[in-house]
Structure 1
Amino acid sequence: MGRIALVTNIPAPYRVDLFYYMQTQIKKHEFHVIYTSENEDNRSWKIKKEKMLNTHILQSKVIKIHGDMDGRYVHIPEKIGNILSEINPDVVIAWEYNPAALQSLFWSKVHHKKFIHLTDGTLFSERNIGKIQKVSRKIIIGNCDAAIASSLKAKEKLLAWGVPEDKIFVSLLTVDIEPYIMMHNQKMEVASEI
């Protein structure tokens, strides 16, 4: 059985559901989830804690960067290397290009573990990134053992950034969306009553 660490920012309901499915249905691997923070101030999600198996929530310094439409959050986690060493995964899968992904990549290289990069970003969504963001992408993309794209547009971005096609795997964001549609409809009903 292989041990896999999944590193991402906060417990979003659709990720929690995906990780729970993986942990309960894929028996040949043991999955551990590392979140860099419990929440962000622009989220009001209700998470089913009973679905958060093998979960580690880190303390992080969170920097909010204000943008034109929405803020962006940078999580700088404490002790991610300690948690990874405690879990001792065979494979680390880290989301995007943040400090946690960079730290996970460095830990993986030092400990001779496989590192997989996962991205939701597209050429369009990342068209205005800055110099530091470009550097972090070059480091992660240039050193990952494989990459997971959550859409064909994310795959297109990875190809444009130089990831060989045979190292890219497309894994569409799949989750039962009915509860989210119901939640949205309930909010719309409340708003119309006001």
Structure 2
Amino acid sequence: MKILIVTNIPTPYRIAFFNVLQAQLRKIGGNLKVLYCAKSEPDRHWKINLQEQQFDYEILNGFHKNIKGLHLHFNPSVIKKTAAFQPDYILYAGSWNMPTVVFSLLFNSFFNKKYKKLFWSEGHDGSMLHKSGIIPMIRKFIQNKFDGFAVPNERSKSYLFELLGLNKKPIVILPNTVDGDFFTKPDTWNEVHSNTIKSKFNIPFDSKIIIQVAQIEDRKGINEIVEFWKKLSNKENYHLVLVGEGALKNELIQKTQSDSTIHFLGNQSKEMVRELLFASDVFLLLTKNDPNPLTLIEASFAKLPILTTKFAGNCNEIVIGNNGVIMNGINFDTFEKAFHSIKNFVEQKNGIFSYENVKTNFDIENVAFNFIQQLQKI
């Protein structure tokens, strides 16, 4: 079995899965290749070590355009590179409307029908910005050209079936996952370790940390977080830690400079993010629009209780009742109630339930193995 993945850029959260997928394929005499449309995108600040990739990959030459935050890549060489690899399956990821994806899909639909073409679809009812009009019509037309879909969960599957009417296409379940071993908080982690991390960022030793790791952009609820935090009474000794870069960062730093309980840490290495998670007490993601955020899975492996919104596509898989709170609306009253509820989970050390859940349902080896097994039936 030969799988070709066509996606936009290298990302740290996909490398681990691609490495495991390659290892699983080798066991059955298969192979993986990844074609990236670009080395990076303007709003991405990750430090990528491409040498960590244990699979064949290429970064294609091409044309790149940013239109109102939408990154468009066109790489004509994708046709030649695909033909040279001769895959059994092409898994398209990134965005259904990326020119390279549409070009490759349509070309191979006419001239290389032996390739089984699947789209990695993470959208759901809460993440789609356009639910009616011309855009869903175009989306349905293009997606009907795929031979099947890989979706992370039933919520994304329902979107394809019910809203796009693609219920006749084969579906394989491909949960988003991460390197769980890397993000698992060790039993040896203690208060001394946490204080070492806190001291790096001038966070008081006696504080508890509620942390959000996300772009500092409106769609991540960052304006609301700051507004709600300033209005909260009885925060006790909690401090709000925000990790990430974005257009709103400098403005919000200015607005909150008098509040010593709010910390903007900027972009951090994945190693430092892991240690910040280990030193934290609650993971927050006040997203307004997120297909299936991997940060919730990382935080769960780090044994943190979760506070998020219904707009996170995997919220119901991550928050299982005794390990967190899902906000049905983004308003102060809902946030205040959720915050005080989550403090009880911290006191009861319920973050362990987050870990047990993802260890069972998001193990990276099992995800890769099950994906291959499903593909073989298409």
Confirm or deny a common fold (TM above 0.5): yes
Question: How far apart, CA to CA, are the structure 2 residues paired with 1:77 and 1:133?
Answer: 23
Residues 153, 173 of structure 2: 8 Å contact kept? yes
Measured after TM superposition, the shift of residue 166 of structure 1 is 6.2
Match of 1:88 in 2: 86
Match of 1:25 in 2: 24
Measured after TM superposition, the shift of residue 167 of structure 1 is 1.2
1:101 is matched by which residue type in structure 2?
A: V
Unaligned 5+ residue runs, structure 1? 190-194
Match of 1:138 in 2: 140
Question: How far apart, CA to CA, are the structure 2 residues paired with 1:166 and 1:136?
Answer: 17
Measured after TM superposition, the shift of residue 161 of structure 1 is 0.7
Match of 1:55 in 2: 57
Measured after TM superposition, the shift of residue 5 of structure 1 is 0.6
Relative distance call for 1:133 and 1:60 in structure 2 (3 A) is farther
Unaligned 5+ residue runs, structure 2? 185-269, 280-378
Residues 149, 169 of structure 2: 8 Å contact kept? no
Among 156, 159, 162, the alignment partner of 2:158 is 156
**Count of aligned positions:** 183
Relative distance call for 1:16 and 1:130 in structure 2 (3 A) is farther
Question: How far apart, CA to CA, are the structure 1 residues paired with 2:132 and 2:168?
Answer: 25
Match of 1:192 in 2: none
Measured after TM superposition, the shift of residue 72 of structure 1 is 2.2
Measured after TM superposition, the shift of residue 140 of structure 1 is 3.1
Match of 1:43 in 2: 44
1:11 is matched by which residue type in structure 2?
A: P
Question: How far apart, CA to CA, are the structure 2 residues paired with 1:152 and 1:93?
Answer: 19
Residues 63, 75 of structure 2: 8 Å contact kept? yes
Match of 2:106 in 1: 106
1:73 is matched by which residue type in structure 2?
A: H
Question: How far apart, CA to CA, are the structure 1 residues paired with 2:43 and 2:78?
Answer: 24
Match of 2:170 in 1: 167
Question: How far apart, CA to CA, are the structure 2 residues paired with 1:132 and 1:79?
Answer: 30
1:37 is matched by which residue type in structure 2?
A: A
**Aligned to 1:64, what secondary structure does the other structure show?**
strand
Which structure has more relative contact order (CA 8 Å, sep 6+)? It is: 1
User: Which has more strand, going by share of residues?
Assistant: 1
For residues 113-167 of structure 1, give each alpha carbon's deviation from its aligned partner in whole angstroms, at most 9, with x where no partner exists. 2111111112222232797743552233212111111233221211121222661
**Aligned to 2:144, what secondary structure does the other structure show?**
helix
Residues 108, 114 of structure 1: 8 Å contact kept? no
Measured after TM superposition, the shift of residue 60 of structure 1 is 2.5
Relative distance call for 1:135 and 1:32 in structure 2 (3 A) is farther
Residues 76, 100 of structure 2: 8 Å contact kept? no
Which contiguous aligned blocks of 4+ residues in structure 1 show a shift greater than 3 angstroms?
A: 129-136, 179-182, 184-187
Question: How far apart, CA to CA, are the structure 2 residues paired with 1:129 and 1:62?
Answer: 27
Measured after TM superposition, the shift of residue 23 of structure 1 is 0.9
Q: TM-score, normalised by structure 1?
A: 0.82
Residues 36, 58 of structure 1: 8 Å contact kept? yes
User: CA RMSD of the aligned region, Å?
Assistant: 2.6
Q: Which has the larger radius of gyration?
A: 2
Q: TM-score, normalised by structure 2?
A: 0.44
Relative distance call for 1:132 and 1:58 in structure 2 (3 A) is farther
